[in-house]
């Protein structure tokens, strides 16, 4: 691909302090994700998946190597630039939904637009269109606590994408859902990043979720194993 990647990690090392010692988490990690591409990261608990997402989101910095996200050098950027990166260019979908219970569905989805400074008059149309796309146009005025788990996660997907981020980060997005709801969410995650032209990094334990991505790879002892298009490392 001739276009510059949205996410590019090269030779990334990261360690965490445990008492007086440093424990290596990521060791010489390389990862490149282009616009419209979905990459799944599989790995056991403690393998470094959350650390990897934190680096891409600009919530942490590498000890060595380069992390470039939407043109921002995470290792060298000022804190204000990293905050702007997260606000403007990064969307999050978490396992636990993280919807605000005091806001309606539409207000939850509108929140990233308001934080980005978009006038309220311009938010309504975008919010309505996104809720319609995730099949929740009729739930705009509902409170999160009356929704099913699958509906709450679809609201979270809508919130993550309404601001047209450059990269979508998904951390076990189907972990709290039953099989039917998980399939609905996976259908959206397989389609929406391409529709919106963002890069997606999906951290998951689910082989079904990984198979919906363009590539999948396994993170083990801080090292990414070779990715295989359309298949998980176990199927390669």
Distance between CA atoms of 174 and 204, rounded to whole angstroms? 8
pLDDT band at 227; cut points 50, 70, 90: low
Give the pLDDT band of residue 235 (cuts 50, 70, 90).
Answer: very low
Domain of residue 208: give its range: 36-49+81-229
Predicted local confidence at residue 205, as pLDDT: 86
- 220 pLDDT exceeds 60? yes
Q: What is the CATH number of the domain that holds 177?
A: 3.40.50.300
Assigned domain for 220 exists: yes
Query: Considering the domain boundaries, does residue 22 fall inside one?
Result: no
Query: Is residue 107 one of the residues assigned to a domain?
Result: yes
How many distinct structural domains can be found in the chain?
Answer: 1
The answer to whether residue 71 sits within a structural domain is no
Q: What is the pLDDT of residue 43?
A: 87
pLDDT of 72 over the 60 cut = yes
| Residue 214, in any domain of the structure | yes
15 domain-assigned = no
Q: Give the model's pLDDT for residue 232.
A: 47
Quote the CA–CA distance of 120 and 83 in Å, as a whole number. 22
Q: Tell me, yes or no, whether 25 lies in a domain.
A: no
Taking each helix axis from N to C terminus, what angle separates 179-196 and 149-161, rounded to the nearest 10 degrees?
Answer: 10
* pLDDT over 70 (residue 25): yes
User: Per the domain annotation, does 4 fall within a domain?
Assistant: no
């Amino acid at each position: 691909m001739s276009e510059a990647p949205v996410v590019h990690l090269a030779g990334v090392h990261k360690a965490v302090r445990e008492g007086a010692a440093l424990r290596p988490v990521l060791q010489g990690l390389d990862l490149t994700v282009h616009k419209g591409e979905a990459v799944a990261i599989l790995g056991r608990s403690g393998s470094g998946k959350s650390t990897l997402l934190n680096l891409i989101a600009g919530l942490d910095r590498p000890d060595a190597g380069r992390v470039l996200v939407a043109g921002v050098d995470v290792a060298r950027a000022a804190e204000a630039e990293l905050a702007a990166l997260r606000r403007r260019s990064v969307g999050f979908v978490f396992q636990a939904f993280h919807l605000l219970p005091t806001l309606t569905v539409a207000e939850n989805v509108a929140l990233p637009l308001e934080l980005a400074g978009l006038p309220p008059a311009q938010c309504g149309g975008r919010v309505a269109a996104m809720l319609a796309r995730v099949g929740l146009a009729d739930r705009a005025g509902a409170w999160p606590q009356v929704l099913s788990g699958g509906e709450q996660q679809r609201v979270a997907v809508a919130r993550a994408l309404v601001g047209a981020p450059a990269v979508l980060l998904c951390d076990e997005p189907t972990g709290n859902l039953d099989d039917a709801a998980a399939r609905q969410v996976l259908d959206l995650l397989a389609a929406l990043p391409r529709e919106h032209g963002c890069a997606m990094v999906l951290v998951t334990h689910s082989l079904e979720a990984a198979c919906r991505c363009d590539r999948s790879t396994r993170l083990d002892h801080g090292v990414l194993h070779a990715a295989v298009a359309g298949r998980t490392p176990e199927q390669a």
